[in-house]
């Protein structure tokens, strides 16, 4: 069966066998239940954790985006891999949580605070809750002609847009190429044949 799978001569292959847990699968992770998902700390008999900044609330501390493990020899204190002799010095992967799950590590290994409101809410606050509407209203009151010109320009643009679009959808007129029937002078009904009895 294995030979059939290698050569492609057979339709079936043997079931894949997962590597044992704690097998290192890349620089930062180890195998766990058939997936490369566990922290490198597990390979050294430790539990992964998130280091706290040296100074409380300091988001610029580099330790926030370093791989950290609980040191069982020191009352399970969360220490950076740069402080643990048995663990290689590693930085956290981009997107890893930091600062007790209130931030994430970017590609520059800086812990960025997560804004729970999101950028759209910030825009809403800027427009509705801020002074933008008030400032714009006051400006239009003093310079009313600017608003009038803008409204007039909008109307003109709308008319031009409608005209251009309507012309683009009108089918072209067909050209009549047939030659009209030539006009013959006189009335055919009034003509008299030469051998008619009227000549007699």
Residue-wise pLDDT for 119-153, tens only, equals 666 666 666 655 667 777 788 888 888 889 999 99
Instruction: List the chain residues with pLDDT less than 70.
Output: 1-10, 116-132, 167-200
User: 36 - beta bridge partners?
Assistant: 31
Whether 93 and 34 map to the same domain: the answer is yes
Structure tokens at 173: 């007129």
Interatomic CA distance for residues 137 and 121, integer angstroms: 22
Whichever domain contains 91, its CATH number is: 4.10.70.30
178 within a domain of the structure (yes/no): no
Distances (CA, A) of 165 to 57, 118, 157, 170: 59, 39, 12, 9
Q: What is the pLDDT of residue 200?
A: 44
Q: Does any domain span residue 181?
A: no
Phi, psi of 58 (to 5 degrees): -90, 100
Q: Which two tokens stand for residue 171?
A: 């089918």
Whether residue 28 is found in the same domain as residue 48? yes
pTM: 0.51
Q: Do 107 and 26 share a domain, yes or no?
A: yes
Rounded-to-integer distance, Cα 80 and Cα 66, Å: 6
Confirm whether 69 is domain-assigned. yes
CA distances from 181 to 176, 178, 191 (A): 13, 9, 20
**pLDDT value, residue 124:** 65
The domain in which residue 75 lies consists of 2-113
pLDDT in tens, 90-110: 999 999 999 999 899 999 999
Residue 154 DSSP SS3: helix
Q: Looking at the 3D structure of the chain, how many domains does it have?
A: 2
What gap in Å lies between CA 60 and CA 32, rounded to an integer? Answer: 32
Both 137 and 60 in a single domain? no
């Amino acid at each position: 069966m294995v030979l059939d799978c290698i050569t492609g001569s057979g339709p079936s292959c043997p079931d894949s066998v997962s590597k044992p847990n704690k097998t290192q699968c890349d620089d930062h992770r180890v195998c766990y239940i058939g997936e490369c998902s566990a922290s490198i700390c597990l390979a050294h008999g430790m539990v992964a954790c998130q280091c706290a900044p040296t100074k409380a609330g300091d988001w610029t501390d580099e330790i926030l985006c370093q791989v950290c493990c609980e040191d069982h020899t020191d009352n399970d204190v969360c220490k950076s891999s740069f402080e643990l002799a048995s663990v290689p010095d590693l930085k956290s992967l981009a997107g890893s949580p930091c600062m007790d799950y209130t931030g994430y590590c970017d590609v520059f290994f800086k812990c960025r605070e997560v804004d729970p409101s999101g950028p759209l809410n910030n825009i809403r606050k800027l427009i509705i809750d801020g002074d933008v509407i008030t400032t714009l209203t006051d400006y239009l009151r003093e310079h009313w002609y600017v608003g009038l010109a803008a409204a007039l320009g909008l109307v003109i643009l709308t008319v031009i847009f409608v005209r251009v679009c309507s012309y683009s959808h009108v089918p072209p007129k067909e050209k009549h190429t047939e030659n009209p029937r030539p006009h013959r002078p006189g009335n055919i009904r009034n003509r008299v044949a030469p051998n008619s009895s009227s000549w007699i």
